[in-house]
A and B are shown apart, each in its own frame.
Chain A
Amino acid sequence: MNRNYLVFALLLFVSTILFSCHPEYDATVEELDIAITQYDEDQNFSQLQTFYLADSIIYINDEESNSLVSVDHAQESHILSLVRQNFLDMGWTEVSGPTDGQIDADVSIMLSVLETDVNYYYNYWWDWWYWYPWDWWYPWYTDFYWYPGYPVWPGYPTYPSGGYTVGTLFIDMLNMDDVEMPDEDDSSFKVPMPWKGSVIGILAGSDSHIQERLTTEINQVFEQSPYLQK
């Protein structure tokens, strides 16, 4: 036999053996769940004792994204009760709601879910450490009668690469004790975010084990944040 044919036959044989078995792992849905948290190391969490939890989840969407993945809205009460219970279990005291348009709690917990993918584009104008009210974009805003629960575009880091995907749940802590009021020539104000938790993509699509996964992942967000313990 011609040596050329032998060489190519050999290469073909070895290549077939090596590449026919797929080298990538097959991950289950649960194995793709990720809990991510980030906190401000300069924040003294012992000074923060009371929390206010808005009674609904904010769904963040983008008209231009046209995401084809549906987000499960049916888990709202389950998520709210899990978050509330975790804060109570860690020794926080809940404050029922805003009075006279202002929050009496040290922190306000804001829950939001992405109905769109978020990529690097948003990083130009998103700020990781502060939350801006919706009215940040509207200079005619002058009134201080507000409370978290309005639609917002909070800031998130784009780490790790790839951005945040549709169905991601964000649990954000706004420090109401340190609200930075606007200067005279600035009609906006901003609120520090000393702690953020997120569960990536968990509400995307439909899954019969969604409640179980939500319980595991939301509890995990708090478990990996021991500095919140009172």
Chain B
Amino acid sequence: MKKYIIISLLFIASIAVKAQEGTSIFVNYLPSIPLGETADFSNNLSPRGADFEVQRFINKELSVGFNIGWNLFREKIQEETFYYEGLTINAVQFRYTNIVPITVNVKKYFSGEGDYIPYAGFGLGTSYNEARNDVGVFSLTDDKWLFHVAPEVGMLYDMNYKAWLSVKLKYNYGFKSGDFPSQSYLSLGVGIGLK
């Protein structure tokens, strides 16, 4: 999975750098807190997360773009008894949730003070979700593509004519599909953007 993410990021970057002026490219470090059913399965703050984003500025107040991210949540459940497909199992569980949202988004910028530009945005797309429970030698894995929404608020700092500093708070929600539960988490993004 990690390989695919890296390859995807590099591939998108290679396209993005060919974009015209008025386009910015962002890379954010994205530590996240799991919420709802994501937290029910793997309830730990995740320091492992990042996203990559391309934004095309239509004017000074509006941009549209593309975002691909990745977060890994994990939790070690101390030895306990649980039930699985008619079996009673007693073991330590190692749980992992990988989420890769892929969204298109729109952002509205507000006139800030000086070089600080606050914004609000909304992303819409899909996400690949994999929930894995490693129990001894067994690995119980379930995965699904979910419909994904991601509202966010943030602030850009205009460093110079070449770069932005970016801070954002982003809520991610993947809708339940079949037996696969909904996924949600809150991310704090800190990154840099190139104009």
Answer whether residue B136 sits at the interface, using C-beta atoms and an 8 A cutoff: yes
| Proximity bits, A63-91, B CB within 8 Å = 1, else 0 | 00000000000000000000000000000
Is A4 a contact partner of B17 (Cβ separation < 8 A)? Answer: yes
- A8 — nearest CB in chain B belongs to which residue? B13
Binds A, one of B32-40, B91-99, B107-115, B121-129: B91-99
B173 near A: Cβ within 8 Å?
no
Does A32 lie within 8 Å of B136, measured CB to CB? yes
Q: Which of B96, B138, B162 contacts A160 (CB 8 A)?
A: B138
CA distance A31 to B192 in the complex (A): 41
Cα distance, A34 to B88, chains bound together (Å):
10
Most chain B beta-carbon contacts within 10 A, residue among A6, A21, A160, A224: A160
Q: How far is the CB of A46 from chain B (nearest CB, A)?
A: 19
Complex partner residue of A10 from B27, B74, B134, CB under 8 angstroms:
B27
Q: Mark B24-60 against chain A: 1 for CB-CB distance below 8 A, else 0.
A: 0101010000000000000000001110100000000
A11 and B194 contact, CB distance less than 8 A: no
Contact A14:B27 (CB < 8 A) given known A160-B140, A161-B138, A165-B137: yes
Number of interface residues of B (CB under 8 A): 41
A36/B10 contact (C-beta < 8 A), A11-B52, A165-B137 known: no
In residues 20-70 of chain A, which contact B (Cβ within 8 Å)?
21, 23-25, 27, 31-38
A162: Cβ under 8 A from any B Cβ: yes
The reply to whether the CB of A3 lies closer than 8 angstroms to some CB of chain B is: yes
Write the B5-30 contact mask toward A (1 if CB under 8 angstroms, else 0).
Answer: 01001100100110000000101010
Tell me which residues across on chain A come within 8 A of B178, comparing CB atoms. none
Docked complex Cα distance between A143 and B86 (Å): 36
User: A37 contacts which chain B residues (CB < 8 A)?
Assistant: 87-88
Interface string of B135-153 (1 = CB under 8 A from A): 1111110000000000000
Given A23-B96, A33-B136, A162-B137, A38-B86 contact (CB < 8 Å)? yes
* Chain A interfacial positions (CB closer than 8 Å to B): 3-4, 6-8, 10-11, 14-15, 17-19, 21, 23-25, 27, 31-38, 157, 159-162, 165, 200-201, 220, 223-225
Q: A27-B92, A37-B87 are in contact. List 17 more A-B contacts (CB 8 A).
A: A11-B52, A14-B29, A14-B50, A15-B50, A18-B49, A23-B48, A23-B72, A24-B96, A31-B79, A35-B91, A36-B90, A37-B88, A38-B86, A38-B88, A159-B86, A162-B138, A201-B137
